[in-house]
């Protein structure tokens, strides 16, 4: 479904991605993990066309995403949840949910599905997003990603900074969303979360993919965990 091949990306003179290749098959929940600053966020941004792709390619099904202007990419069915949520704090929950919808009414069925995952959002529809707790804001960010009924969601550390109970709620919800048919590429720092919910995992180091396997394979590969993720054995 998503195929990135030998992609190179730079911010100005500074190259960040070096021949990065990864694949996400339809229906999969795939994790991308690595230390701070290795290029995980840049990888997601490059898919969305938010950083210039220099060499290599990104295909979504048969479409080369380099052929599309960035605003067309969500219309292909790709949702992006940026790191740090990026909600509109002065707008209400409902207004934030409306943002990705270019025209026409909100899909009531999707809205109900979002409220089923997160009943809290329904209770706070007219509350300004900036006054929500961190966990509620993350729920809203997930809701906003779902509202276009995407085929693929790119999630950038959706559990970052949340307390363990909320980490579990978001992780469980991500799994359910995937089981209902949405493909997900999940960037995470927490290896445990990846092991719990993902079917496949990529490790990134210095702008390149250095490991690809299943969570159970990675579980056994302590040397890899230690080398790339600073996990102590």
Ligand X SMILES: Nc1ncnc2c1ncn2[C@@H]1O[C@H](COP(=O)(O)OP(=O)(O)O)[C@@H](O)[C@H]1O
Pick the closer one to ligand X by CB: 6 or 216: 6
Site for Mg ion contains 43 (CB under 5 A): no
Q: Which of the choices Mg ion, ligand X, none does residue 20 contact, using the CB cut-off of 5 to 8 A by kind?
A: none
Site for ligand X contains 40 (CB under 6 A): yes
Pick the closer one to ligand X by CB: 25 or 37: 37
Specify the stretch interacting with ligand X by CB under 6 A; choose among 39-47, 86-94, 108-116, 224-232. Answer: 39-47
Q: Which of the choices ligand X, Mg ion, none does residue 37 contact, using the CB cut-off of 5 to 8 A by kind?
A: ligand X
Q: Which of the choices ligand X, Mg ion, none does residue 225 contact, using the CB cut-off of 5 to 8 A by kind?
A: none
Q: Which of 56, 24, 30 is nearest to 207 (CA)?
A: 56
- Shortest Å distance, C-beta 31 to ligand X: 13
Q: Rule CB under 6 A: which of 18-37 touch ligand X?
A: 34, 36-37
Count the site residues for ligand X by CB under 6 A: 11
Site for Mg ion contains 182 (CB under 5 A): no
- Shortest Å distance, C-beta 30 to ligand X: 16
Residues binding ligand X (CB under 6 A): 11, 14, 16, 34, 36-42
Binding stretches for Mg ion (CB under 5 A): 40-41, 83
């Amino acid at each position: 479904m998503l195929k990135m091949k030998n992609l190179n990306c730079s911010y100005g003179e500074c190259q960040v991605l070096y021949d990065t290749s990864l694949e996400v098959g339809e229906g999969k929940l795939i994790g991308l993990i690595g230390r701070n600053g290795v290029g995980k966020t840049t990888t997601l941004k490059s898919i969305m066309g938010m950083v210039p792709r220099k060499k290599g390619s990104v295909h979504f099904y048969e479409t080369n995403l380099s052929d599309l202007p960035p605003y067309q990419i969500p219309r292909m069915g790709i949702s992006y949840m940026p790191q740090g949520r990026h909600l509109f704090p002065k707008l209400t929950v409902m207004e934030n949910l409306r943002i990705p919808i270019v025209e026409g009414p909100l899909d009531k069925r999707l809205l109900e599905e979002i409220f089923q995952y997160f009943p809290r959002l329904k209770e706070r529809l007219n509350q300004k997003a900036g006054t929500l707790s961190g966990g509620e804001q993350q729920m809203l960010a997930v809701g906003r990603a779902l509202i276009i009924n995407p085929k693929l969601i790119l999630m950038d550390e959706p559990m970052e900074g949340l307390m363990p109970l909320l980490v579990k709620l978001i992780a469980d919800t991500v799994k359910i969303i995937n089981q209902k048919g949405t493909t997900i590429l999940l960037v995470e720092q927490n290896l445990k979360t990846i092991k719990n919910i993902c079917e496949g995992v990529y490790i990134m180091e210095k702008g390149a993919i250095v490991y690809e396997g299943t969570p159970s394979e990675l579980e056994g590969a302590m040397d890899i965990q230690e080398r790339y993720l600073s996990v102590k054995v």
